[in-house]
């Protein structure tokens, strides 16, 4: 990874922005990497398709937005319909199979994961869907270690919810086991 650009999308309340911040913060604070996270603001950012951009890099980042992500995550159909064209050629498009029906004519490598169903089945709390998604993303991309995500979570959430989040993170990682990549990102 020299530089990896990601876009997390979904609907308000799914925690995609929180997941983006946790990922970028983990990269900066615990992995010594450079990262930038941004999101769209305003009334239009509530409801509809929420989006957050993350760039994680081994060198300084100047332009902070993502136009063509290496990794796109869509947690709703609306987000998928809106953004499925934006990944750069050879990029990865991760979707949740409960929420998103994918098109076949898409240039990206599509990875459909039963994140929502597994979270409901194993944990019973949809609130940790975003952390399961994050587990899948780090398993596929190796951007940061799961321990780094957990350390960040420790500073952000109530201790009594930590083990539930750990379970969700591992659940996501397990679901993505077969899709781990050799190399992600570009220069």
Partner 1 sequence: MTGTLKFVQGNEACVEGALYAGLQFFAGYPITPSTEIAETLASKLPQIGGKFIQMEDEIASMCAIIGASLTGSKSMTATSGPGFSLMQEALGYAIMAEIPCVIANVQRGGPSTGLPTKVAQGDVMQARWGTHGDHAIVVLTASNNQDVFNITIEAFNVAETYRTPVILLFDEVVAHMRERLTVPEKNEIPLVERLQTSVKEGVDYHPYLPREDGRLPMSDFGGVHRYNVTGLYHDMWGFPTATPAIVDGLIHHLTDKIRNNVHVITKFKEYYLEDSSTVLISYGSAARSALHHVLNRRKRGENIGLIELQTLWPFHGELIREKCKNARLIVVVEMNLGQLYRQVKMAVDRPERVFLANRVDGVFITPTDIKNMLRLIQGRGV
Name the residues that contact partner 1, by CB under 8 A.
Answer: 21, 24-25, 28-29, 34-45, 61-65, 67
Return the sign of the alpha-carbon dihedral for residues 180, 164, 146, 13.
Answer: positive
Is 61 or 106 the residue whose CB approaches partner 1 more closely? 61
Q: Which is nearer to partner 1, 22 or 72 (by Cβ)?
A: 22
DSSP 183: -
Instruction: Indicate if the alpha-carbon torsion angle 113, 116, 119, 122 is positive or negative.
Output: negative
Nearer to partner 1 by Cβ, of 67 and 117: the residue is 67
* CB of 1 vs partner 1, minimal distance in Å: 17
Work out how close the CB of 76 gets to partner 1 at its nearest, in angstroms, rounded to a whole number. Answer: 21
Terminal CA-CA length for the chain: 8
Nearer to partner 1, 61 or 162 (CB): 61
**Residue length, the chain?**
187
Nearest CB to partner 1, comparing residues 73 and 171? 73
Report, in Å, the least distance between residue 81 CB and partner 1.
21
Q: Provide, rounded to whole angstroms, the least separation between the CB of residue 169 and partner 1.
A: 19
**Least Cβ distance, residue 87 to partner 1 (angstroms):** 17
The Cα 22–Cα 32 span in angstroms is: 14
DSSP per residue, 25-91: HHHHHHH--EEEEEE--SGGGSSSEEEEEEEEESS---S-S-SS-SEEEE-SHHHHHHHTT-SPTT-
């Amino acid at each position: 990874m020299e530089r990896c650009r990601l876009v997390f999308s979904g609907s308000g309340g799914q925690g995609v922005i929180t997941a983006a911040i946790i990922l970028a913060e983990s990269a900066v604070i615990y992995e010594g990497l450079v990262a930038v996270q941004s999101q769209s603001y305003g009334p239009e950012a509530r409801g509809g398709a929420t989006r957050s951009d993350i760039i994680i890099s081994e060198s300084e980042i100047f332009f902070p937005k993502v136009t063509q992500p290496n990794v796109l995550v869509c947690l709703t159909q609306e987000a998928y319909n809106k953004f499925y064209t934006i990944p750069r050629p050879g990029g990865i498009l991760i979707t949740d199979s409960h929420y998103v029906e994918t098109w076949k004519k898409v240039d990206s490598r599509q990875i459909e994961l039963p994140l929502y169903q597994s979270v409901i089945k194993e944990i019973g709390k949809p609130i940790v869907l975003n952390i399961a998604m994050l587990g899948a993303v780090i398993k596929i991309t190796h951007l940061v270690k799961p321990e780094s995500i957990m350390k960040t979570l420790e500073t952000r959430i109530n201790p009594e919810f930590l083990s539930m989040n750990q379970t969700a993170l591992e659940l996501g990682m397990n679901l993505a086991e077969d899709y781990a990549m050799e190399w992600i990102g570009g220069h």
